[in-house]
């Protein structure tokens, strides 16, 4: 199971060491094949899915970048957008019907 992807080969190696020190069975795949434009992405895997959460916490403490999920705008932004759209529609209809 993939826990993390990175292009930093040194980070991947040190992260694997940190996971092994925590007794988490892990390995890495990928990396540059030195064939011109090959993708240098390295994937860090854990063999046991039960270790996923602990491995993720270790990687974050080790310096892994945490991606924040995209979020919908807050309720007031959505309502203001709807009200603005309706107001614009009313203004356009009023102008067209003159």
**HEC-encoded secondary structure of 7-34:** CCHHHHHHHHHHHHHCCCCEEEEECCCC
pTM of the model: 0.60
| Domain limits, the chain | 2-62
Residue-by-residue DSSP string for 28-65: EEE---SSSS----EEEEES-GGGHHHHHHHHHHHTPP
Fold classified for 2-62: Alpha-Beta Plaits (3.30.70)
From the first residue on, what is the mean pLDDT of each consecutive set of 10 residues in the chain (98 residues)?
A: 87 93 92 60 91 93 84 79 92 88
pLDDT of 74 reads 76
């Amino acid at each position: 199971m993939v826990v993390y992807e990175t292009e930093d080969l040194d980070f991947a190696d040190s992260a694997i060491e940190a996971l092994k020190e925590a007794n988490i069975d892990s390995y890495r795949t990928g990396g540059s094949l030195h064939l011109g434009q090959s993708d240098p992405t390295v994937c860090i895997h854990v063999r046991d899915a039960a270790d996923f959460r602990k491995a993720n916490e270790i990687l974050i403490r080790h310096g892994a970048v945490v991606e924040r999920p995209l979020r919908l705008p807050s309720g007031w932004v959505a309502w203001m957008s709807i009200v603005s759209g309706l107001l614009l529609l009313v203004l356009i209809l009023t102008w067209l019907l003159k």
